[in-house]
Structure 1
Amino acid sequence: MNRLIGAVAPVDTARLAGVEDAVWARIGERRDRVRLGQVRFAAVALALVIGVTNGGLMLMTLRPQPSEMRIFTVSAGLSPLASLDVRE
């Protein structure tokens, strides 16, 4: 920046009129990008924590005992479609 300012002739100060505003605009854009990156990181971290917690809790729950009604399920192999080898 000092090099650019030094390259301008002392009588040609009109070229420097918008430099400060442009610098502050770029600083603002960078802050916005950093803030957006932090929000994205927080969202991903929160989703990961929720997923791991949910998965851990599901592993700790008791498994349901097989029901006596399981003979009526399609997976029991008693479906009329089982002999035709038709898959859902």
Structure 2
Amino acid sequence: MTDDIERLIRMAAPGDAAGLAGVEDAVWSRVSERRDRARVSQVRIAAVALALVIGVTNGGLMLLAPRPEPSEMRIFTVSAGLSPLSRLDVQG
């Protein structure tokens, strides 16, 4: 950006302010674009940090939650040892 400004200043004749008329507007528009990009990146960082906090909190609460008691229907599960392959010591 500084190279563009220096080039424009060198091209303008001494006392010719009309050649530099759009320079200030161009500079301020680029400044506002950079500020907007900085705000967007700050919002992204805040969103990622919030998601991380929510995830860690949810995971921590899940670890603290009591485990459910085994159901009476567990005799029908695969791990019940009632499979015909359990006598053959085959694991699947």
TM range (shorter): 0.7 to 0.9
Partner of 2:27: 23
Separation in structure 1 between the aligned mates of residue 81 and residue 46 of structure 2, nearest angstrom? 47
Q: CA deviation at 1:4?
A: 4.2
TM-score by length of 1: 0.74
The question of 1:70 aligning with 2:89 is answered no
Unmatched 5+ stretches in structure 2: 84-91
**CA displacement 1:13-36 (0-9 Å, x = unmatched):** 332111001000000000000000
Instruction: Give the number of the structure with larger relative contact order, counting CA–CA contacts within 8 Å between residues 6 or more apart.
Output: 2
Aligned equivalents of 1:42, 1:56: Cα separation in 2: 21
What amino acid sits opposite 1:34 in the alignment?
A
Structure 1 unaligned blocks of 5 or more: 80-86
Identity of aligned residues (%): 71
